[in-house]
C-alpha cells in the first residue's frame, strides 16, 4: 500500500487504464494544461493531444462527441469541470447515452465515464457548489459513483472505464487533497453496488457517501466518547446501491440515519430511508431520519455557505436523539 492523495489516485488510475487499453481517451476543457484542479497533470506529455484532448467551452459538444465516439468503439473519459456546468449537456447524457442500448435493442453501447466535480468548495457560490447526484440516480440507464477515499476513487474509476454502460463519476472537490492508502495493483477494481463499512456499531446506522462520509465518521467519534456505538456505511455508488449492506446494518442497530450534503428535498437519502422503512420496518426501533441541506442556494460568503452545511455536531445530535428515543 502506498499513501496517495485522492487527486493523484484518480490520475494514476486513469493513466494505468490508458496504458492498458488504447481505446481509452479523455476530453474536456483545459486538459492540456492539466485540468482545472490538476487531475490531468502530466498526462498530455505521456499520451499526446490525440488522447488527452482539449475541447472548446461547450459541454454539449464535448459530451455529444464522446457519446458518438463511444458508440463507435472507444472509451471516452469526459471531464465536465464542474457538475453545475454538466447541466448544459443534460440531453446528451440523459436522452442519448443513458437510453442508447435500450433504444437500439442492445446493438449499441455507450461506455463513457462522465467526471463531475461536486460539492461546496472555497466559497464557490451557487453556480459552482451543487451536489446533484440524485438527479442522475433517478435516470434509468446511468450508473452513479460517489467515492469518498483515494482507494475507492481509483478502484471505482477503473471499474467505470471498463464498464459498457455510461457512468456518472462524481468527485467532491474538497477531497482532492485527502491522503489515503492506495493498493499497488493496477487492476484493483471495486464492484458497483458494494458499500464499505467505515465503522462498526450496535446502536445506530449512519449512511452516507462522498465527502459527507468523513463528516459522519467524525460524528461517530463524538458519539463513541459518549458510549454510543454508531455504524457508518459508505454507499460508494448510488446506483446501484447496496441495499443488502444497509439492511444488514439496520438489522443489527434497529435505527437508520441518512446524511448527505445535497439538498434534503428529493435527495437520494429519501430513497434509502423509504426503502428501509418499506422493506425492513419490523427491524426498526425508531423512525428513520435523514439530514440534508435546506432547499436554499449556496452563498458566496463563508458564513452563508456554512449555514447550509450538514455538520458533524448535527449528525451526532440526530443520532443521539434517536438512541434516546426522542
Does residue 164 register a pLDDT over 80?
yes
Among 10-19, 90-99, 122-131, 317-326, which stretch is predicted with the lowest mean pLDDT? 122-131
Q: Which of 91, 32, 25 is nearest to 58 (CA)?
A: 91
Percent of the chain having pLDDT more than 90? 94
The helix/strand/coil state of 315 is helix
Please, which pLDDT band fits residue 256 given cuts at 50, 70 and 90?
A: very high
Check the CA dihedral 53-58-61-63 and report its sign: positive
Instruction: Round to whole Å and give the CA distance between 288 and 315.
Output: 13
Average pLDDT over residues 176-189: 94
> Residue 81: what pLDDT?
87
Q: Is 48 exposed, middle or buried (0-12, 13-18, 19+ CB in 10 A)?
A: exposed
> Residue 151: what pLDDT?
97
Residues in the chain: 326
Reported as a single tens digit per residue, the pLDDT across 57-72 is 999 999 999 999 999 9
> Residue 326: what pLDDT?
64
Query: Is 188 considered catalytic here?
Result: no
Per-residue CA distances from 124 to 131, 173, 228, 268, 301 (Å): 13, 11, 36, 23, 9
Q: Which of left, alpha, beta for 53 (phi over 0: left; psi -120 to 50: alpha)?
A: beta
Q: What is the DSSP letter of 92?
A: I
Instruction: Round to whole Å and give the CA distance between 40 and 70.
Output: 21
CA atoms within 13 A on the CB side of 179: 3
Check the CA dihedral 233-239-245-251 and report its sign: positive
Q: Angle 203-204-205 (CA atoms, 0-180°, nearest 5)?
A: 140
Q: Angle 230-231-233 (CA atoms, 0-180°, nearest 5)?
A: 140
Q: What is the DSSP letter of 68?
A: H
Does residue 122 register a pLDDT over 90?
no
Cα-Cα end-to-end distance for the chain:
44
Cβ(165)–Cβ(228) below 8 Å: no
> Using alpha carbons only, how large is the chain's radius of gyration in Å?
20
Global confidence as pTM: 0.95
Does residue 127 register a pLDDT over 90?
no
CA atoms within 13 A on the CB side of 82: 15
Q: What is the DSSP letter of 298?
A: P
Does residue 129 register a pLDDT over 90?
no
> Residue 125: what pLDDT?
84
Please tell me which residue in 128, 172, 214, 260 is annotated as part of the active site: 128
> Residue 124: what pLDDT?
85
Q: Give all domains of the chain, ordered by start, each with its CATH number.
A: 2-182 (3.40.50.970), 196-323 (3.40.50.920)
Q: What is the DSSP letter of 73?
A: T
Amino acid at each position: 500500500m502506498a499513501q496517495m492523495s485522492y487527486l493523484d489516485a484518480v490520475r494514476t488510475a486513469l493513466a494505468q487504464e490508458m496504458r492498458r487499453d488504447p481505446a481509452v481517451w479523455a476530453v474536456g476543457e483545459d486538459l492540456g494544461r492539466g485540468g482545472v484542479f490538476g487531475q490531468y497533470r502530466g498526462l498530455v506529455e505521456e499520451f499526446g493531444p490525440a488522447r488527452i484532448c482539449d475541447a472548446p467551452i461547450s459541454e454539449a459538444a464535448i459530451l455529444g462527441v464522446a457519446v458518438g465516439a463511444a458508440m463507435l468503439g472507444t472509451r471516452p473519459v469526459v471531464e465536465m469541470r464542474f457538475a453545475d456546468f454538466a447541466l448544459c449537456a443534460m440531453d446528451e447524457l440523459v436522452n442519448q447515452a443513458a437510453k442508447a442500448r435500450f433504444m437500439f435493442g442492445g446493438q449499441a453501447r455507450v461506455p463513457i465515464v462522465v467526471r463531475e466535480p461536486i460539492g461546496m468548495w472555497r466559497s464557490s457560490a451557487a453556480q459552482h457548489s451543487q451536489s446533484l447526484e440524485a438527479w442522475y440516480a433517478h435516470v434509468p440507464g446511468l450508473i452513479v459513483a460517489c467515492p469518498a477515499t483515494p482507494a475507492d476513487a481509483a478502484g471505482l474509476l477503473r471499474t467505470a472505464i471498463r464498464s459498457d454502460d455510461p457512468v456518472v463519476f462524481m468527485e467532491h472537490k474538497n477531497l482532492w487533497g485527502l491522503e489515503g492508502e492506495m493498493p499497488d495493483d493496477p487492476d484493483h477494481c471495486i464492484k458497483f453496488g458494494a458499500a464499505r463499512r467505515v465503522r462498526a456499531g450496535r446502536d445506530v446506522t449512519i449512511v452516507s457517501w462522498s465527502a459527507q462520509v468523513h463528516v459522519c465518521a467524525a460524528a461517530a467519534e463524538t458519539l463513541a466518547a459518549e458510549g454510543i456505538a454508531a455504524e457508518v456505511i459508505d454507499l460508494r455508488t448510488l446506483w446501484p446501491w447496496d441495499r443488502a449492506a444497509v439492511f444488514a446494518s439496520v438489522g443489527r442497530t434497529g435505527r437508520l440515519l441518512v446524511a448527505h450534503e445535497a439538498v434534503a428535498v428529493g435527495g437520494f437519502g429519501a430513497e434509502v430511508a423509504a426503502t428501509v422503512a418499506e422493506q425492513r420496518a419490523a427491524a426498526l426501533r425508531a423512525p428513520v431520519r435523514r439530514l440534508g441541506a435546506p432547499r436554499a442556494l449556496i452563498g458566496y460568503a463563508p458564513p452563508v455557505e456554512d449555514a447550509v452545511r450538514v455538520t458533524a455536531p448535527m449528525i451526532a445530535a440526530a443520532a443521539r436523539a434517536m438512541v434516546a428515543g426522542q
